[in-house]
C-alpha cells in the first residue's frame, strides 16, 4: 500500500458497499434497448405502424363504403331481412323512424361524414343516387386494392337489430375473403340497439409474419389466449382460430372467432438482430433473408437518427461501414419496407447490434 490515506480508507470502506435503488424507468429503458426473445419492443413500435395503417385503412374504407352502402342498409332494414351483404359504419337511430340511417361520426379529419339530410335525400330521391355513381365507381377501385395492406383492418360492423329476437348471421363478401360472423343470443335487443361492435376481417398471412386482430366498440375483451386488450398481435405458424368474447356496455357478451390463414407459398423476411463484420466469414454483413421479396428498401440509422446506409437491393447487405470507415460496436436501427410473396407491403422496424 503506497499512499492510501485515511480519507481514502474511510471513503472506500463505506462507498464500496453502497447500494442505491434506481428508478423503475431505468429497467424499462434498458429492456427496450436489448434483444429479447419476447418481442416487447416490437409490439410497441409495431403499434405505431399498425395504428397508422389502421387509420388509413379505415379512412379509405369508410370513404369508399359509407355513401354507397347507405342505400343497401336502408333496403335491408325496411325489409326486415336478417341477411345483409356488407355492413359498415352506419348505425341505426331510433329517433328518426322515417330515416333510419345516420352516419356515424368518426373523430378523424379524413373521414367522410354524411349529413343526415343527404342520406334522406338519397333514400327517398333515386336521382341523387346517380349523382353518387361516380363516387361509387372510384371507391370500388380503392376497395379492391385495400387487401394489399398487411394489417388488414378493413372493418366490418355488427349492428344490433331493433326487433330481431333471433341471432343474426351477417355475411360479408368483400374482395376474396368470405366471412361469416355469428352474433351471440341477444336477450334484450331494445336496450342493445346502440351497441356497435366492429371486428377486423380474417387475415391471411405469410408464414412468420405478425397480424393484428382487433375489435372496436366493446367495454371488455377476453381473447382465447388470455389477453384482455381490444386487439391482439399473433404470429401463428399454422392456420389458427382465435376466439374473443366482447362484453358491450350493456354487459352482454358477443363471441367471435377469427381464423388466421397461413399462405404456405410465402415466408416472412428473416432479419438477424446482430452481425459481426470482422472478416471471419460468419455474419460479416447485415442482410435480411427472404424469398419472393419485391420492392425492397432498407435503411440503417444510428441511434441518434443519422442515415448510415440505404439500399433497394435485397441481395445487398450492410457491412458496418460508412464511407469505407468501419463503425464501432453499437446498436443501429433498421427500417425495412418490402412486398412479400403475396404482394402485400410489410414494414419492419427494429434494432441490430454491430459486434466487433
Distance from CA of residue 59 to its chain's centroid? 14
Q: Which is nearer to another protein, 33 or 178 (CB)?
A: 33
The answer to the question of residue 166 lying near another protein (CB under 8 A) is no
Smallest gap, in angstroms, from Cβ of residue 308 to another protein? 18
Q: Could you tell me the smallest distance in angstroms from the CB atom of residue 310 to another protein?
A: 24
Give the DSSP letter string of 104-155: PP-S-TTS----HHHHHHHHH-THHHHHHHHHHHHHHHHHHHGGGSSS---E
Judged by CB under 8 A, does residue 356 bind another protein?
no
Query: 150, 209 in Cβ contact below 8 A?
Result: yes
Separation of alpha carbons 234 and 2, rounded Å: 63
Least distance to another protein, CB of residue 16, Å: 6
Taking alpha carbons only, the member of 273, 208, 272, 202 closest to residue 235 is: 208
Residues 308-347 that bind another protein (CB under 8 A): 329, 331
CB nearer to another protein: give 52 or 355: 355
Residue 10 binds another protein, judged by CB under 8 A: yes
Rule CB under 8 A: which of 37-96 touch another protein?
37-38, 40
> Cα separation of 344 and 76, whole Å?
34
For 165, the grid coordinates are 329476437
- Of residues 286 and 338, the one with the C-beta less far from another protein: 286
Q: Residue 34 CB, nearest distance to another protein (Å)?
A: 4
- DSSP run (H or E) holding 259: strand 253-267
In the shown chain, the binding pattern of residues 14 to 43 toward another protein, with x for contact by CB under 8 A and - for none, equals: xxxxxxxxxx-xxx-xxx-xxxxxx-x---
Cβ nearer to another protein, comparing 2 with 95: 2
Per-residue x/- marks for another protein, 273-312, CB under 8 A?
----------------------------------------
Give the separation between CA 261 and CA 273, rounded to whole angstroms: 27
Cβ-based nearer residue to another protein, 30 or 229: 30
CB of 91 to another protein, least distance (A): 42
Question: Is residue 63 within 8 Å of residue 56, measured between CB atoms?
Answer: no
Q: How far is the CB of 325 from another protein (least distance, A)?
A: 19
Give the binding range for another protein (CB under 8 A) out of 11-19, 75-83, 110-118, 133-141: 11-19
φ, ψ dihedrals at 282, nearest 5°: -105, 120
Give the residue with the Cβ less far from another protein, 36 or 80. 36
Q: How far apart are CA 57 and CA 147, in angstroms?
A: 9
Which of 34/113 has CB closer to another protein?
34
DSSP run (H or E) holding 69: helix 40-78
Which run of H or of E encompasses 65? helix 40-78
Burial 196-208 (b: 16+ CB within 10 A, else e): bbbbbbbbbbbbb
Nearer to another protein, 38 or 134 (CB): 38
Instruction: Report the candidate in 16, 44, 19, 14 with the shortest Cα–Cα distance to residue 29.
Output: 44
Least distance in angstroms from the C-beta of 230 to another protein:
24
Binding site for another protein (CB under 8 A): 3-8, 10-12, 14-23, 25-27, 29-31, 33-38, 40, 329, 331, 353, 355
Amino acid at each position: 500500500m503506497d499512499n492510501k490515506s485515511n480519507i481514502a480508507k474511510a471513503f472506500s470502506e463505506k462507498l464500496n458497499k453502497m447500494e442505491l435503488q434506481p428508478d423503475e424507468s431505468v429497467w424499462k429503458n434498458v429492456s427496450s434497448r436489448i434483444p429479447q426473445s419476447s418481442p416487447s419492443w416490437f409490439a410497441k413500435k409495431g403499434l405505431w405502424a399498425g395504428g397508422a395503417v389502421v387509420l388509413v385503412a379505415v379512412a379509405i374504407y369508410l370513404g369508399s363504403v359509407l355513401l354507397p352502402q347507405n342505400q343497401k342498409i336502408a333496403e335491408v332494414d325496411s325489409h326486415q331481412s336478417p341477411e345483409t351483404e356488407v355492413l359498415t359504419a352506419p348505425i341505426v337511430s331510433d329517433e328518426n323512424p322515417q330515416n333510419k340511417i345516420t352516419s356515424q361520426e368518426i373523430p378523424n379529419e379524413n373521414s367522410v361524414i354524411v349529413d343526415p339530410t343527404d342520406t334522406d335525400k338519397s333514400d327517398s330521391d333515386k336521382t341523387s343516387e346517380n349523382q353518387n355513381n361516380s363516387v361509387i365507381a372510384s371507391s370500388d377501385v380503392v376497395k379492391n386494392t385495400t387487401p394489399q395492406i398487411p394489417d388488414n383492418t378493413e372493418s366490418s360492423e355488427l349492428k344490433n337489430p331493433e326487433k330481431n329476437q333471433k341471432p343474426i348471421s351477417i355475411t360479408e363478401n368483400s374482395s376474396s375473403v368470405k366471412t361469416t360472423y355469428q352474433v351471440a343470443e341477444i336477450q334484450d335487443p331494445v336496450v342493445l340497439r346502440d351497441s356497435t361492435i366492429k371486428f377486423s376481417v380474417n387475415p391471411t398471412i405469410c408464414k412468420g409474419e405478425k397480424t393484428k386482430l382487433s375489435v372496436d366498440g366493446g367495454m371488455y375483451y377476453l381473447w382465447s389466449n388470455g389477453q384482455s386488450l381490444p386487439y391482439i398481435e399473433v404470429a401463428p405458424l399454422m392456420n389458427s382460430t382465435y376466439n374473443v368474447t366482447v362484453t358491450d356496455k350493456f354487459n352482454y357478451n358477443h363471441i367471435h372467432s377469427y381464423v388466421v390463414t397461413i399462405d404456405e407459398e410465402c415466408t416472412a423476411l428473416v432479419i438477424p438482430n446482430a452481425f459481426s463484420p470482422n472478416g471471419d466469414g460468419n455474419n460479416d454483413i447485415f442482410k435480411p433473408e427472404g424469398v419472393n421479396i419485391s420492392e425492397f428498401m432498407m435503411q440503417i440509422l444510428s441511434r441518434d437518427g443519422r442515415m448510415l446506409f440505404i439500399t433497394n437491393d435485397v441481395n445487398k447487405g450492410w457491412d458496418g461501414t460508412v464511407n469505407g470507415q468501419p463503425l464501432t460496436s453499437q446498436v443501429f436501427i433498421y427500417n425495412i419496407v418490402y412486398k412479400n410473396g403475396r404482394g402485400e407491403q410489410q414494414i419492419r422496424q427494429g434494432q441490430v447490434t454491430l459486434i466487433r
